[in-house]
């Protein structure tokens, strides 16, 4: 038995016909935002979920308005996706097709490895009642975040550095304008990536350094955006072993790598007119006879000397060489690194905001606007030299450490750099309006959205217009695909 469900979100102050017919009281009582009613009809075996946008939807603008739509669609989707025989869902996303598509895909997502796991509504079975470019774009955003969630959820034996690299190669095969290189430890040795290799050395699983290129700019020489993602496929802490409780969460310590892989793939699918390079240093952090020990001294790729105080601070070691390589090799205008770096982020910002460290006000503004647009929210943290003398693993000290590996910060036209620490937002410990508990794929949508509005005059104008008038659709590239 299979049934198609429909989702309608409606403004109760002016109920649409479907809502008026199925939930007549809504017009007089104005149910609060996200209040949902599921209506079954035995006559034609149909299921319809109605979700209210709340009595003050008409007064809501911009980011706030979009989030109301996401929550309403998410609330309805969670209910219909849980119904046993529903396996196709049609969404009336007219209120905001992009936001509706994102929420529908995020709310329908279920991760399971069981062969007879809970029934799920496949992404391909979630459709718009009325097709639009906005909806299609939203699907790419939502699916990108779901991809990052899956990669983070996968157990470490199913996503070793080798398997992760193979998976990227398969996933990018046939994706226009992209090239993938999988580098091995031998290559890293030749490059002098000794801090990266110092983490690889403790594991029997060989480290991999994956380099993805997307050429979407009219000129292949156009300076690229470089994304760097921390890819510790399992973090035991190394010789400075972590406590056993909750250690399995450390299968998600490659969340930064997952985020940048998902973002560059989405940017390629959207055919954005920019060049992007994504780099993921992939390795396990294990204790063994060949592991790096506390007190060991390593010379990084850029010549700096690093004393390892605690081997559980391995993230900054793999990032140090990757950030230096990314900022010195490609003539990048911007480098953004994403990492589950410091547990202290969770104490500072909880699961609500992701911390961003950057010396650039311009880049921060772009990231902030993008994060608000997608409700993938970012908060600027201090990046200040006064944190340097602190030896403890505070988030600010870690960010300052990374800064010393960014090449070109003091150039005449300095590279823009931001460090995004997703350690606090990597996992939802409580259910959210359109996310079930589990790995979140946080910052993926903010990253895609940032690129949509960056370093491109036409896009900047579109962005400005959107800030002034939220009903102006975002810039979409319309040139032919190849
Ligand atoms: Zn660690």
Confidence of residue 454 (pLDDT cuts 50, 70, 90): low
What's the burial of 157, exposed, middle or buried (CB within 10 Å: 0-12/13-18/19+)?
exposed
The two structure tokens encoding residue 221:
């020489």
Calpha distance 36→342 (Å, rounded): 38
How far does the centroid of ligand 1 lie from the alpha carbon of residue 243, in Å?
12
pLDDT at 467: 63
Judge whether residue 466 has pLDDT over 90: no
CB 343 within 8 A of CB 264: no
pLDDT-wise least confident of 17-26, 153-162, 332-341: 17-26
| Integer Cα distance of 205 and 235 in angstroms | 13
Give residue 142 CA to ligand 1 midpoint distance, Å.
Answer: 29
The average pLDDT across 240-244 equals: 96
Quote the pLDDT of residue 96.
96
Neighbours of ion ligand 1 (CB under 5 A): 235, 312, 314
Q: Output the CA 234–ligand 1 centroid distance in Å.
A: 9
Going from the Cα of 314 to the center of ligand 1, the distance in angstroms, rounded, reads 5
Residue 92, H or E segment: strand 86-92
Task: Identify the band that residue 270 occupies on the pLDDT scale cut at 50, 70 and 90.
Answer: very high
The C-alpha atoms of residue 49 and residue 6 are separated, in whole angstroms, by 6
What backbone phi and psi angles, to 5 degrees, belong to 4? -100, 130
Ligand 1 center to 312 CA (angstroms): 4
Mean pLDDT within 398-414: 94
pLDDT at 89 over 90: yes
249 vs 235: CA distance, rounded Å: 9
- CB of 469 closer than 8 Å to CB of 287: no
177-191 burial: b if 16+ Cβ within 10 Å, else e? bbebebbebeebeeb
Confidence of residue 43 (pLDDT cuts 50, 70, 90): confident
pLDDT grade for 19, boundaries at 50, 70 and 90: confident
Q: What is the pTM of this model?
A: 0.92
| Phi then psi dihedrals of residue 92, to 5 deg | -85, 95
Residue 142 or residue 18, greater confidence: 142
Q: What is the CATH number of domain 3-131?
A: 3.40.220.10
* Distance between CA atoms of residues 249 and 74, nearest Å: 26
pLDDT one-digit tens code per residue, 60-79: 999 999 999 999 999 999 99
Provide mean pLDDT across the span 425-434. 94
Bigger pLDDT: 179 or 12? 179
**β-bridge partners, 18:** none
Task: List the single range of 72-86, 112-126, 181-195, 460-474 with lowest mean pLDDT.
Answer: 460-474
CATH 3.40.220.10 positions along the chain are: 3-131
3-state secondary structure of 173: coil
| Alpha helices for 246-313 (secondary structure H) | 255-269
* Mean pLDDT estimate for the chain: 91
CA atoms within 13 A on the CB side of 179: 8
Contact 53, 12 (CB under 8 A): yes
Residues of the chain with CATH 3.40.630.10: 155-468
Over residues 299-306, mean pLDDT: 96
Q: How far is the CA of 163 from the centre of ligand 1 (A)?
A: 21
Distance from residue 392's CA to the centre of ligand 1 (Å): 14
Residue 435 carries which DSSP code? B
Q: How confident is the model at residue 475 (pLDDT cuts 50, 70, 90)?
A: very low
pLDDT at 423 over 50: yes
Distances (CA, A) of 290 to 203, 286, 298, 306: 8, 9, 14, 18
Per-residue pLDDT, averaged over 23-50, amounts to 88
**Nearest by Cα to 234 from 156, 314, 317, 150:** 156
Mean pLDDT of the 278-297 span: 98
Complete DSSP assignment for 205-230: SPPEEEEEEEE-SSSTTSPPEEEEE-
pLDDT in tens, 349-402: 999 999 999 999 999 999 999 999 999 999 999 999 888 876 555 899 999 999
Active site residues: 242, 316
In CATH terms, 155-468 corresponds, of 3.40.630.10, 3.40.50.11390, 1.10.760.10, 3.40.50.2300, to 3.40.630.10
What pLDDT band is residue 451 in, cutting at 50, 70 and 90? confident
Q: What is the pLDDT of residues 44-55, one digit of tens each?
A: 888 999 999 999
User: How close is the Cα of 325 to the center of ligand 1, in Å?
Assistant: 22
Positive or negative, the Cα torsion across 289, 290, 292, 298? positive
The reported pLDDT for the residue numbered 46 is 87
């Amino acid at each position: 038995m299979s049934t198609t469900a429909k989702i309608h979100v409606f403004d109760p102050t002016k109920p649409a016909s479907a809502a008026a017919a199925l939930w007549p009281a809504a017009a007089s009582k104005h149910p609060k935002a996200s209040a949902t009613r599921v209506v079954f009809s035995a006559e034609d075996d149909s299921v319809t979920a109605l979700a209210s946008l709340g009595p003050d939807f008409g007064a809501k603008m911009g980011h706030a308005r979009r989030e109301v739509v996401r929550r309403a669609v998410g609330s309805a989707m969670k209910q219909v996706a849980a119904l046993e025989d529903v396996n196709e869902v049609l969404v009336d996303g007219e209120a905001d097709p992009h936001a509706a598509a994102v929420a529908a895909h995020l709310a329908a997502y279920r991760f399971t490895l069981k062969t007879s796991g809970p029934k799920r509504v496949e992404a391909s079975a979630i459709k718009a009642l009325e097709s639009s470019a906005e909806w299609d774009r939203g699907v790419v955003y939502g699916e990108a975040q779901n991809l990052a969630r899956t990669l983070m959820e996968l157990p470490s034996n199913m996503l070793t550095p080798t398997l992760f690299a193979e998976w990227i190669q398969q996933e990018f095969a046939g994706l226009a304008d992209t090239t993938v290189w999988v580098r091995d430890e031998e290559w890293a040795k030749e490059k002098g990536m000794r801090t990266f290799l110092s983490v690889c050395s403790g594991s029997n699983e060989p480290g991999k350094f994956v380099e993805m290129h997307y050429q979407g700019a009219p000129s292949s020489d156009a300076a690229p955006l470089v994304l760097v993602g921390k890819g510790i496929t399992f973090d035991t802490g190394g010789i400075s072993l972590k406590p056993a409780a909750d250690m399995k969460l450390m299968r998600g310590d490659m969340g930064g790598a997952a985020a940048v892989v998902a973002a560059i793939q989405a940017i390629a699918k959207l055919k954005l007119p920019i060049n992007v390079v994504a780099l993921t240093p992939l390795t396990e952090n294990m204790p063994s006879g060949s592991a790096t020990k506390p007190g060991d001294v390593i010379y990084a790729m850029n010549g700096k000397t690093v004393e390892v105080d605690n081997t559980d601070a391995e993230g900054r070691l793999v990032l140090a060489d990757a950030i230096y390589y990314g900022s010195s090799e490609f003539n990048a205008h911007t480098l953004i690194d994403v990492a589950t770096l410091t547990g202290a982020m969770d104490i500072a910002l909880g699961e609500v905001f992701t911390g961003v460290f950057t010396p650039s006000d311009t880049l921060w503004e772009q990231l902030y606007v993008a994060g608000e647009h997608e409700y993938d929210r970012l908060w600027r943290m201090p990046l200040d030299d006064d944190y340097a003398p602190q030896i403890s693993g505070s988030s600010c000290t870690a960010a300052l450490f990374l800064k010393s590996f960014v090449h070109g910060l003091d150039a005449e036209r300095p590279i823009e750099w931001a460090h995004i620490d997703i350690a606090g937002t990597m996992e939802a410990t409580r259910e959210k309006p359109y996310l079930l508990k589990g790995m979140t794929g946080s910052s993926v949508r903010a990253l895609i959205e940032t690129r949509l509005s960056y370093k491109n005059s036409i896009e900047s104008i579109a962005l400005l217009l959107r800030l002034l008038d939220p009903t102006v659709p975002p810039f979409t590239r319309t040139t032919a695909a190849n």
